[in-house]
Amino acid sequence: MPDLIAQSQDASHFWRQPLADNTTFLLGRSTSELAVSWDPQVSRCHARLLWDGQRLHVDRLPEAKNPIYFEGRAVDSCRVQVGQRFVIGTTVFLLMASPDARTESRPTPFSVQSIPRRELQSRKFHEAAQRIDALARLPRLISPATSDTDLARRVAELLLDGIAKASAAAVIEYDPSDGGRHRVLHGEARGRLHVFRPSWRLVRHVAESGEGTLHLWSPQPADGEESWATQQAGVDWAFCLPVEGESRVWYLYVEGGEDRDHTAYRDVAFEDDWKFAEVVATMLANFRAARMWERRHAHVRPFFSPSVLEWLDGESGRGLEPRQADVCVLFCDLRGFSRESEVSADDLLRLLKRVSRTLGVMTTEILAAGGVIGDFHGDAAMGFWGWPLEREDYVADACRAALRIRRRLPPRSSDVDAGLPVFRAGLGLASGEAVAGPIGTADQLKVTVFGPVVNRAARLETLTKTLKASVLLDQATAERLEDSKGAGADWRLRRLGRVELPRMGRVETVYELLPSATEAPEIADEALDDFAAAVAAFEVGDWDRSYELFHRVPHYDAVKDYYVGEIVRHDRRAPPGWDGILRPGTP
């Protein structure tokens, strides 16, 4: 894949763009691909270009006013090979081979020098005022960069401005996702049409050693090696420095020459050049780290409540590191979604609006209670508390969020609003240790939590359908909630017994979370006492007594229906070998 270089008589009018194989590009003064905005003799859309893997097809478009000049003749089309050029107006277009990390374009250096980073950092500039002035411009220069390529271009320009001996400078990237190859992110030369070909031997040496390294080449090549002058005239030295940071490692590369006796490498000015590049590398690494944090922060902001975001801002992102934490996980699932998707097959947009409205209720209440939006699993949402900010009452916060969701998402379809109703929902909460933190890349990032506690919350949510309960808790959540219960608590708990969680084989003492008596007076405390006594009789196998007690519970309490159904199914007799454990779904 070659590069097309555009250069006008004004040295500031320049670009270099790669041309992908078998891809058509439009060249013109106002095109979005290969724009030559500086040349009025280039039409708004002047030519169509196609690289076929061997030659560049350049075809003048009908609306172009001026011809294309190729090999001294005005033409409407031409086939350009690597190393050839064509002209439109006052702009020269040169087709050059892109630097390829798989081929070595340099002879073997006769001298290799390295200065450990710590030693280099300890040395002082000999011309401090000049260097500091150049470095002071670096933040202003790189801050407006809109992409990695733009940032690399700005850094290469600064290196050329700050190192008078250099004839070219570049930023080179190592991308493990691209087969572990190095590539020139941007190269800048003082002679704009100068062919920049870095020494990949030098780059690989720096990648392996982790230290900045200088290579010197002799003007007299060794036997069997091509003369350096025939490859890159005027270049006989280059140094390369690593830029610490992200998975895509960067390197600063600087080269120059016309110093055949290599006296430059024995004077203090060159040491200043090397140290200057090292300081640029350090500042660039810090800038990239800050930008990465900003990008990650921007991606994860929707997952956090305002109070957590305020804390994260004070922590400068350090609180986002993945870590093991005690968390409370909430799963909330939409009821009847599968059936509704079949019924609404002809009006899926309305269905999407209903789902969005319902998920909006869930996420709003999770964030309002200081939780984190962990993920969406199809028609379910997951939130959690305990990371990144540790709070003493995080379990109580999670349970309050669950009750508010319960209040806003009615348990019966007859209770839904007219117009665009929300879905009904079931919620499961579990507490315990897990690993929480962001996962993914800088561009595709989400926050999530891993561990058995997540599966437990999901299974409890599934169990709400069987037991006809709105909110179920595991024992750890119930115990922590009771510990934090004080005067004026706005919830009540009732124990539903020991249950084998679906598809886990784990026996868990399950509790139902209910609103306070003030908010839900229809669920009287006396009825809760009867329910508790009925469950106790059910567990010990006294199902006649349990049946009698369950009938004291109001008829609209749907949870009792599961127990009564089990009792009736077994003719009011506990099955042989009864161990007091509910196993939903088993005969």
CATH classification at residue 29: 2.60.200.20
Residue 395's beta-bridge partner residues? none
Looking at the fold, whether 482 and 528 belong to one and the same domain comes out as no
Give the CB-side neighbour count of residue 364, counting CA atoms within 13 A: 11
Domain with 536, as residue range(s), is 522-587
- How far is it, in rounded angstroms, from Cα 24 to Cα 33? 10
- How far is it, in rounded angstroms, from Cα 475 to Cα 484? 14
Q: How many domains does the chain have?
A: 4
Burial of residue 3, with CB atoms counted within 10 A of its CB: 0-12 exposed, 13-18 middle, 19 or more buried? buried
Q: Considering 517, 539, 569, which residue would you say is the last residue of a domain?
A: 517
Looking at the fold, whether 540 and 571 belong to one and the same domain comes out as yes
| pLDDT number for residue 260 | 47
| pLDDT number for residue 419 | 47
Please tell me what DSSP assigns to residue 523.
Answer: S
| pLDDT number for residue 413 | 42
Residue 385 lies in a domain: yes
Residue 10 lies in a domain: yes
CA–CA distances in Å: residue 78 to residues 8, 28, 55, 84: 20, 17, 10, 11
Residue 339 lies in a domain: yes
Looking at the fold, whether 221 and 135 belong to one and the same domain comes out as yes
Looking at the fold, whether 374 and 503 belong to one and the same domain comes out as yes
Q: Considering 75, 97, 119, which residue would you say is the last residue of a domain?
A: 97
Looking at the fold, whether 92 and 191 belong to one and the same domain comes out as no
Looking at the fold, whether 512 and 539 belong to one and the same domain comes out as no
Residue 89 lies in a domain: yes
For residue 417, what is the domain's CATH number?
A: 3.30.70.1230
Looking at the fold, whether 311 and 384 belong to one and the same domain comes out as yes
Looking at the fold, whether 506 and 543 belong to one and the same domain comes out as no
Find out whether 157 and 145 touch, Cβ atoms under 8 Å: no
Looking at the fold, whether 268 and 401 belong to one and the same domain comes out as no
Residue 105 lies in a domain: no
Looking at the fold, whether 271 and 372 belong to one and the same domain comes out as no
Looking at the fold, whether 188 and 316 belong to one and the same domain comes out as no
Q: Considering 294, 324, 340, which residue would you say is the last residue of a domain?
A: 294
Looking at the fold, whether 526 and 507 belong to one and the same domain comes out as no
| pLDDT number for residue 430 | 97
- How far is it, in rounded angstroms, from Cα 506 to Cα 522? 33
Q: What is the pLDDT along the chain (587 residues), one digit of tens a residue?
A: 788 888 887 766 778 788 888 889 999 998 877 889 899 999 999 999 999 988 999 999 999 999 999 988 999 999 999 888 999 999 999 888 765 544 455 567 767 777 676 766 666 766 666 667 777 777 777 778 878 888 888 899 889 888 888 888 999 987 665 555 678 888 887 765 455 678 888 888 888 888 888 888 765 554 444 433 334 445 678 899 998 766 568 999 998 875 545 454 444 556 788 888 888 888 888 887 767 766 665 555 666 666 666 665 555 555 667 889 999 999 988 776 666 666 666 777 777 777 777 778 888 898 889 888 887 766 678 899 998 888 888 999 999 999 999 888 865 443 444 444 556 788 999 999 999 887 765 555 667 888 999 999 999 999 999 999 999 999 999 999 988 765 457 899 999 999 999 888 889 999 999 998 888 888 888 999 999 999 999 999 999 999 999 999 998 899 999 999 999 999 999 999 999 999 887 76
For residue 266, what is the domain's CATH number?
A: 3.30.450.40
Residue 102 lies in a domain: no
- How far is it, in rounded angstroms, from Cα 94 to Cα 92? 6
